[in-house]
Structure 1
Amino acid sequence: MAKPLLIYLDGNLVPETEAKISVFDHGLLYGDGVFEGIRFYNGRVFRLTEHLNRLYESSKSILLNVPLTFEEMEKATLDTIAANGLRDGYIRLVITRGVGPLGLNPYQCPKASVFVIASSISLYPQEKYDCGLTMVTCATRRPTVAALSPQVKSLNYLNNVMAKIEAIQGGGEEGVMLNEQGYVAECTGDNLFLVKRGEVFTPPISAGGLDGITRRAAMDLLTEMGVRIHEVNMTRHDIFTADECFLTGTAAEVIAAVALDRRLIGDGKPGPLTQKLVAKFKALVNSTGTPVTYPV
């Protein structure tokens, strides 16, 4: 029987069966809160500082007072990994608005709540990393940037969930989400890249996608490889006619996409540039990051 995970919850490490929040927490009632998903490899947390910076920026954007300093949040994250004895895995770091009376008013919640989960994750089976994902265009659009900045990783992911349902019901593993102008914004949980004639193209952040940390890591690696990258508005036609397509995300890492709406992308197999990038990304994440100090 697997040993129960220890969860960081408001200053304490507690068994997962005891890690509970109130039904009056506004994070549960209204999706009022923010989160980060973070990976760790070989006892090192990949780009932890960048993830925490984004977490605090998301919090500031929605006027959510974080009860921990940056250094305390970093320690809570590292201590949770160490307490569970994990070397490789995934962190879900969540800040909710906290407990308050019924009603939207966030100022009636006296203190935010913080919890950290360190566990394993397998977003797609290995077969999909070997052969590539099939994608479906979703009717559900990304919310307009005038409604909520896509750079805020809020607890309300219903838009993405509904798009994911469409993708699965349409026979795909991932869904391409468009903005209100019909341009590609991102996938339900990943950023999207195309390869054409040896150059790489990706939607600009202004199209409505998240400025992903894995996205930036991939762009850095491509630049080191001497590959030109263009941030441009793109339509489904651009995906249909690309030589290669790959997706990036913390949970998904870097993975090829080989079909959209029953049209093969390129020859319908992971392309050479994608495969080269995957190898370089694996080398990067397994050799860099903030080290975890484990108990002797």
Structure 2
Amino acid sequence: MSEPTCWLNGEFVQASEASISIFDHGLLYGDGVFEGIRFYNRRAFRLHEHLLRLQRSAAAILLELPYSLDEFAAAIEHLVAGFPEPDGYLRVVATRGKGALGVDPRSCPCGSAFIVADQLALISEERRRQGARLICATTRRLPADGLDPRIKSLNYLNHVLARIEANNVGADEAVLLNAQGHVTEGTADNIFVVRDGRLMTPPVSDGALEGVTRSVILELAPTLGIVAEECTLNLYDLYTADECLLSGTGAELIPVAEIDGRRMRDCPGPVSEALQRAYTATVRSSAAD
């Protein structure tokens, strides 16, 4: 496979040659926003939704995007067309740009942006077939009154710390709770549980990211006759679930086999399997349009 190509501030360069200033506030302070986007058969999946979320995240932190959404979309189309494989992953990043040391954003006259196309697998195919092993991390999700979970910012340190906890015990992923002990999400994915055929996922108000793949699942469930709802979940709800699955652009759909040593009754269960089939069909249909 040839080296991935990167789009950096309006120019296409080899990824190994792309560079940003060490004074970029995205690097120094995590001052920026990003999106992860999958493409299938050289078509970016739910591109419009991802770019709108990028725009909203930027607006929420008073970051003026240095390029229009149309310019981002055109760059993505070019990268996808030139990628050596028909399927892959895109990372779209916009930062405050180069500025003086110190957190004051007024020293950054112009934002910076880049997009890179590559491959991403959050879990091995063998583990995906067997089901992921999860732990509940002691690291808590940042509270919504400190940083709104709808902002997809570059500050992922608490997620990194939670993932380190999972790594230390040989688990595949960690679940973060909020300050009240309610379930929020994984380190890079949303979480769903199934009980008595009913599909449940934490609401954004509890600290869950407003995930694009999460929205697709909530759209698909009623078409399959599955009752789906957003509701507050606690550890008890995870431990006693019939099924559990993770969703995300990077994750796609991952069935969960166990949480904190407690085995799910089914992995993958009938609801998870039905959603996987419907999701795959949706992706293929989108890629064929």
TM-score (norm 2): 0.97
Which residue type is aligned with residue 216 of structure 1?
S
Matched residue, 1:285: 283
SS in 1 for 2:93: strand
2:108 match:
109
Secondary structure of the residue that 2:141 maps to in structure 1?
Answer: coil
Structure with more contact order per residue of length (Cα contacts < 8 Å, sep ≥ 6): 1
Which amino acid in the other structure matches residue 43 of structure 1? R
| Distance in 2 between residues matched to 1:128 and 1:78, nearest whole Å | 32
Partner of 1:239: 238
Q: Where does the alignment leave 5 or more consecutive residues of structure 1 unmatched?
A: 292-296
Equivalent residue for 1:275?
Answer: 273
Q: Which residue of 1 aligns with 2:72?
A: 73
Q: Which residue of 1 aligns with 2:31?
A: 32
Q: Which amino acid aligns with 1:25?
A: D
Post-superposition offset of 1:232: 1.2
Q: Deviations over 1:231-289 (max 9, x none)?
A: 1111111111111011100000011111111111114x311110121111111112205
Deviation readout 1:12-48 (Å, 9 max, x if unpaired): 0011121000101110000000000000011111000
Give me the CA root mean square deviation: 1.3
The range that moved more, 157-166 or 230-239, is 230-239
Q: Say whether the 8 Å CA contact 1:48–1:290 is kept in structure 2.
A: no
CA distance in 2, matches of 1:246, 1:16: 33
Secondary structure at 2:140 match in 1? coil
Structure 1 contact 167–173 (Cα < 8 Å) conserved:
yes
Q: Which runs of 4+ in 1 moved over 3 A?
A: none
Corresponding pairs, count:
289
- Rounded to whole Å, the distance in 1 between the matches of 2:168 and 2:268 is 24
CA contact (8 A) 1:245 1:257 kept: yes
CA shift at 1:85, angstroms?
A: 4.0
Say if 1:48 and 1:289, in contact at 8 Å, map to a contact too. Answer: no
* Paired letter, 2:286: T
Aligned-partner residue type, residue 141 of structure 2: R
Counterpart-to-counterpart distance in 2, 1:163 and 1:245: 19
Q: Map 1:11-22 to 2 at 5 A.
A: 11-22=10-21
> 1:162: which partner in 2?
161
Partners of 2:34 and 2:94 within 8 A in 1? yes
Listed as ranges, the gaps of 5+ residues in structure 2 are none
SS in 2 for 1:140: strand
Given residue 45 of structure 1, which amino acid in structure 2 is its aligned partner? Answer: A
Residue pair 1:42, 1:88 contacting (<8 A) in 2 also? yes
The aligned counterpart of 1:219 is: 218
Tell me the equivalent position of 2:138.
Answer: 139
Q: Tell me the distance in 1 between the aligned counterparts of 2:232 and 2:277.
A: 28
CA contact (8 A) 1:31 1:154 kept: yes
Amino acid of the residue matched to residue 188 of structure 2? G
Q: Tell me the equivalent position of 1:192.
A: 191
Q: Look up the match of 1:44.
A: 43
Contact 1:136 1:171 in 2 (8 A): no
- Distance, in Å, in 1 between the alignment partners of 2:166 and 2:217 is 25
Alignment partners' CA distance in 1, 2:7 and 2:229:
41
Deviation at 1:87, TM superposition (A): 1.2
- Deviation string, structure 1 residues 186-218 (Cα, Å, up to 9, x no partner): 111111111111111111111101010000001
